[in-house]
Structure 1
């Protein structure tokens, strides 16, 4: 009876996670993140590869999140992997934010509200630089406390 209960709990948990993941990917597809990336990089001919990598990334991300596999990489490869992963996630989040801003037409609205006619790109760059600096300081002190 306990085994059946655990199996049903695992099944419903995975189904709920799958539904949430599908909703997130559908949202990303609707706002045009993937299409924009393909257009900017000139790689529209590799749509099947994009679809495969997106699906594999979602599945592997869910598996790693659920089971929390430890990954031992050594003193040199570990930090390089963390830097590459951090840059990849940062680039993706940046693309997502810009797609959302463009979709919602938020930039013209904010420029009218704060009466900014020139220099909006500097405001955005300043916000991004502040976010980058804050993230680097946070992670620097967090990594220093681990060592």
Structure 2
């Protein structure tokens, strides 16, 4: 009876996780994050590679989250790996936010409200640079207190 309960719990957990993951990926596809990245980088011919990497990323990310594999890398190598992972996640979140903002037509609204006819790209760059600087300072202080 206990085994049946565990099997059913695992089944329903996997089903619920699959539904949530499908919803997240559908949201990302609808707002055009992947298409925009392919268009900006000029790599539309590698769509099968994009699909494979996106699926593998979701599956491996879920496995790492569920089982919490420890990664015993310390010192400079660990900090370098952490920095690369943080930069990758930051780039993805930035692309997600920009796609969502464009989808919601927020940029034209902002430019009309602040009467900005030219230079919107510089405003966006300044906002991104400020966010990046704040994040780097925050994490630099945390890493300095660890080492």
Q: TM-score, normalised by structure 1?
A: 0.89
Aligned-partner Cα distance in 1 for 2:91–2:32: 15
Aligned-partner Cα distance in 2 for 1:105–1:134: 26
**Displacement of 1:40:** 1.6
**Displacement of 1:57:** 0.3
Structure 2: unaligned runs, 5 residues or longer: none
Relative distance call for 1:83 and 1:105 in structure 2 (3 A) is same
**Displacement of 1:120:** 2.5
Q: Are 1:70 and 2:66 matched, yes or no? A: no
RMSD, aligned CA: 1.6
| Residue number in structure 1 paired with 2:111 | 111
Give the length in aligned residue pairs. 147
Q: Are 1:135 and 2:130 matched, yes or no? A: no
**Displacement of 1:2:** 2.7
**Displacement of 1:61:** 0.4
For residues 1-147 of structure 1, the aligned pairs below 5 Å read 1-147=1-147
**Displacement of 1:67:** 1.0
Runs of 4+ in 1 over 4 A off after TM superposition: none
**Displacement of 1:77:** 2.0
Higher RCO, 1 vs 2 (CA within 8 Å, ≥6 residues apart): 2
Aligned-partner Cα distance in 2 for 1:31–1:119: 25
